[in-house]
Amino acid sequence: MAKLQSSLLFLFLLLLLTPTQQQQKQPQPHEAEHDDPISRFQNYLRINTAHPTPDYASAVSYLRSQAQSIGLEAQTLEFSPNKPLLLLTWRGSDPSLPSILFNSHLDSVPAEPSKWAHPPFSAVRTPDGNIFARGAQDDKCVGMQYLEAIRGLRAKNVRPIRTVHVSYVPDEEIGGFEGAAKFAASEEFRGLNVGFALDEGQASPGEEFRVFYADRSPWHVVITARGTPGHGSRLYDNSAMENLMRSVEIMSRFRESQFDVVKAGRAANSEVVSVNPVYLKAGIPSPTGFVMNMQPSEAEAGFDIRLPPTVDPDLVRKRIAEEWAPAWRNMTYKIHEKGPLRDYLGRPLMTLTDDSNPWWSVFKEAIAAVGGKLAKPEILPSTTDARYLRQLGIPVIGFSPMTNTPILLHDHNEFLKDTVYLKGIEVYESIISTLSSFQDASH
């Protein structure tokens, strides 16, 4: 009897210590997160790389681990302190051919959590398949799609003829001066022998993929007016505020003339010069606000100006000097050019999108192969790191494969639908496979 009781006690303890069959089959959260492309995308989105304190180290570590899991070479470069740049390489069978570069940026713009339906770095996936996160469209999607596409091609035993590089750069959202600009000017970049590159684009609300052959170049212009200070009741010619207001009126008329062209359908928004006032600084401060019975001796305004590559920048400089801030009205100005305007041969920073560019023809072929359609090539209204590559004479296409998707970059509740993300992986598989096997780019 004692022996039987001991046996029963042993079995009871064994049952307590052994997980049930159901428990054994229950996956742990971290195990499920590495099983599929969507989970890996969510993992990347959860890394907070928003300015002013982007967590570059965690992002690079995660991407590097993913790259190494599929057998890609990886190296971390640092052209500025604490601003790492990750470079991945998939060696082609003919390294003498110019390589293909796929570029993406690590950083994101800030988010206001109180304005979001879900925390901006939680990467919540709703029942209808929308993945909410800062960077979901701009542009962590393409950064992960590059990797997933290569993962899929390697699983099919595809071997590229051309070498494929993937770069993840810092600081794009604040100009790229410490990231892509220094990378493009480096010995390491010259050693890559890049013949063609893809960078980010924008979502398309329609059925066609949007594609961009150029960016607009930003100028930050600060205009300062000076004049005689005096009592608020007196009338002066050429007072500081009068001169500044006159300039604002002239610039507003120019802005209106450009906008009229857009409204009439004769040009896209990105094809005209945009002029937008962003701040005004004037007046004499007081403990309760400003002194109301004194006219200030100085007034200042700042403007965000965007120039398409089709516009002669010298003509814009002339307009600023002679009309918007003329010295004879006691005005001065400063132009802060935020990046290059011309390539090394003095040409506008544009990539040809016709049959004279063999890369364009092959790119179109890759899109057609997966049933995709391209919209009319555009100039991007904003600015990307592609300009630093175009400055070297390298053809670059801006492209983010998102159709039937609202444009939400830099917006509250930025999201990307899971089916759109997965379709983008398929598109990049076709692009990488087609471009890397293309041998004749001698034109």
Sequence ranges of the binding site for Zn(2+): 105, 138, 173, 200, 410
Q: Where are the beta strands (DSSP E) in 342-438?
A: 378-380, 396-398, 415-417
Q: Known catalytic residue: 304? A: no
Q: Which of 172, 199, 378, 418 is catalytic?
A: 172
**Cα separation of 404 and 414, whole Å?**
14
Q: Which of 107, 271, 414, 418 is catalytic?
A: 107
Pairing mode, strands 212-215 and 378-380: parallel
The amino acid at 318: K
Pairing mode, strands 130-132 and 415-417: antiparallel
User: 348 Cβ partners below 8 Å, 6+ apart?
Assistant: 214, 309, 310, 341, 342
**Cα separation of 32 and 42, whole Å?**
12
**Cα separation of 277 and 299, whole Å?**
14
**Cα separation of 362 and 377, whole Å?**
15
Neighbours of 307 (CB within 10 A): 19
Helix (H, G, I), strand (E, B) or coil at 431: helix
247 closest CA partner among 328, 337, 336, 338: 328
Tokens 């003095």 correspond to what residue?
346
Neighbours of 62 (CB within 10 A): 17
Neighbours of 31 (CB within 10 A): 10
The amino acid at 23: Q
Pairing mode, strands 378-380 and 285-286: unpaired
Instruction: Evaluate whether 198 touches 103 at the Cβ level (below 8 Å).
Output: yes
> Residue positions in the annotated binding site?
105, 138, 173, 200, 410
Q: Known catalytic residue: 440? A: no
DSSP 378-402: EEESS--THHHHHTTT--EEE----
Residue 271 DSSP class:
G
Q: Where are the beta strands (DSSP E) in 200-309?
A: 212-215, 217-226, 230-231, 274-282, 285-286, 289-290, 294-295, 298-307
- The catalytic site residues sit at 107, 172
